[in-house]
């Protein structure tokens, strides 16, 4: 009898240890190493003037056209020189466990607030769909590193955990989400979905098409602007889609402003419909993104087949963190 009791106690202890181990694996993350985890070449191309002078290190990095005309610019009564670059300004977590702060080292900051957990479910025995929570960090790294304190062309913010989807009632409700994207009803048909194949092609060879604004390239549909992924192919694909939706959601709610083109020369301006060509992004957790053909970041919507290979690991590598680069056109010296 004693041996039976000891055996049962041993099995119970193993079960408790197993549960504790699984609980520990629910929230993974690490602070990004600014030397090895951030792809600094994503800030290029950097152009001065009207595209006439390009820094040599911009060779091989993808960019978008800059405003033409004279190389000088005017903001109010001040005159400056046109400059453009890609500024690392935001971090995004895409996680399964609510309040799991991947970018902050994988700490659990649950205040006792009930929020939906991440899921992966099979629908009709064929399609796999999923749900993730996400976190939006204000993180203007150039300023934080004191790269160029006297330049007003850099975003003058401080690090902040600015948005948690766990606190957003729209993030888990397709019907309520229609409040901010009522146009989604226009793109639920087969023709609109087939058109996203063209956006997949354009974003894989370059930047996505703003004409097909309801598409998220090879990742699927931009709508609804919430955490439900109707066609889950893999963790990297699904988390990339969540990143694109979250950026679009921030624009739609007026919480993210644009900074490119002629309109951005003298400051930021609201842009409720996100310009997909204004952003590049790179993974830094669970694995810093490797360089492929000299590039370690990509435009929104690009296929994850190449750069996402081997980036998803069961249990320890199913939460993700990404660095977001935004295109910046500015009138340097006019502020």
Least confident of 44-58, 81-95, 132-146: 44-58
pLDDT of residue 16: 38
Span 244-254, mean pLDDT? Answer: 97
pLDDT-derived band of residue 52, with 50, 70 and 90 as boundaries? Answer: low
pLDDT above 50 (res 260): yes
Span 239-254, mean pLDDT? Answer: 98
Between CA 156 and CA 142 the distance in angstroms is: 10
pLDDT of residue 4: 43
Maximum separation of any 2 CA atoms in the chain, in Å: 92
Span 133-149, mean pLDDT? Answer: 82
Per cent of the chain over pLDDT 90 is: 61
Residues 6+ apart with CB under 8 A from 66: 47, 50, 51, 82, 84, 329
Between CA 62 and CA 306 the distance in angstroms is: 17
Between CA 207 and CA 62 the distance in angstroms is: 9
Name the nearest CA neighbour of 41 among 64, 58, 24, 22: 58
pLDDT above 80 (res 281): yes
Between CA 201 and CA 208 the distance in angstroms is: 8
pLDDT tens track for 157-183: 889 999 999 999 999 999 999 999 998
Q: What are the DSSP calls for 259-324, one per residue?
A: --TGGGTTS-EE-SS--GGGEEEEEEESSPPPPBTTBS-EETT--STTTTTT--BTTTB-SEEEEE
Tell which wins on pLDDT, 146 or 54: 146
pLDDT above 60 (res 255): yes
Which 8-state DSSP code applies to residue 235?
H
Highest mean pLDDT among 31-35, 145-149, 164-168, 192-196: 164-168
pLDDT above 70 (res 257): yes
pLDDT tens track for 217-226: 999 999 999 9
Does an H or E element contain 12, and which?
helix 2-25
Does an H or E element contain 222, and which?
none
pLDDT tens track for 74-96: 998 889 999 999 999 999 999 99
Task: Give the pair of three-digit tokens for residue 81.
Answer: 């020189």
Give me the chain's average pLDDT, please.
87
Domain boundaries, the chain: 2-30+89-325
Cβ pair 251, 271 in contact under 8 A: yes
Least confident of 40-44, 50-54, 126-130, 303-307: 50-54
pLDDT-derived band of residue 20, with 50, 70 and 90 as boundaries? Answer: very low
Estimate to the nearest angstrom the gap between the alpha carbon of 242 and the chain centroid: 7
pLDDT above 60 (res 22): no
pLDDT-derived band of residue 10, with 50, 70 and 90 as boundaries? Answer: very low
């Amino acid at each position: 009898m004693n041996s039976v009791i000891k055996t049962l106690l041993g099995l119970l202890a193993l079960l408790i240890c197993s549960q504790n181990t699984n609980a520990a694996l629910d929230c993974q993350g690490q602070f990004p190493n600014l030397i090895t985890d951030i792809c600094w070449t994503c800030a290029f191309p950097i152009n001065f003037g009207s595209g006439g002078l390009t820094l040599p290190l911009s060779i091989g990095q993808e960019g978008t056209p800059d405003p033409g005309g004279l190389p000088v610019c005017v903001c109010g009564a001040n005159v400056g020189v046109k400059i453009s670059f890609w500024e690392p300004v935001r971090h995004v977590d895409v996680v399964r466990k609510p309040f799991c702060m991947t970018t902050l080292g994988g700490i659990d900051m649950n205040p006792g607030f009930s929020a939906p957990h991440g899921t992966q479910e099979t629908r009709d025995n064929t399609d796999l769909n999923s749900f993730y929570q996400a976190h939006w960090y204000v993180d203007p790294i150039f300023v934080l590193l004191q790269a160029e304190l006297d330049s007003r062309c850099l975003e003058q913010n401080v690090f902040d955990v600015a948005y948690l989807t766990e606190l957003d009632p729209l993030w888990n409700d397709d019907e309520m989400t229609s409040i901010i994207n009522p146009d989604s009803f226009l793109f639920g048909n087969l023709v609109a979905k087939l058109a996203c194949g063209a956006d997949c092609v354009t974003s894989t060879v370059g930047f996505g098409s703003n004409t097909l604004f309801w598409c998220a390239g090879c990742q699927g549909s931009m709508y609804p602007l919430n955490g439900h992924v109707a066609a889950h192919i893999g963790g990297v694909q699904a988390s990339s889609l969540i990143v694109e939706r979250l950026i679009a959601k921030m624009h739609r709610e007026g919480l993210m402003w644009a900074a490119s083109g002629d309109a951005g020369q003298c400051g930021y301006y609201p842009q409720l419909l996100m310009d997909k060509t204004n952003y590049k992004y790179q993974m830094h957790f669970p694995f810093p993104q490797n360089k492929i053909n000299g590039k370690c970041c990509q435009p929104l919507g690009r296929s994850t087949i190449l750069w996402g290979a081997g980036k998803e690991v069961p249990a320890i590598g199913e939460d993700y963190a990404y660095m977001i680069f935004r295109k910046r056109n500015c009138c340097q010296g006019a502020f």
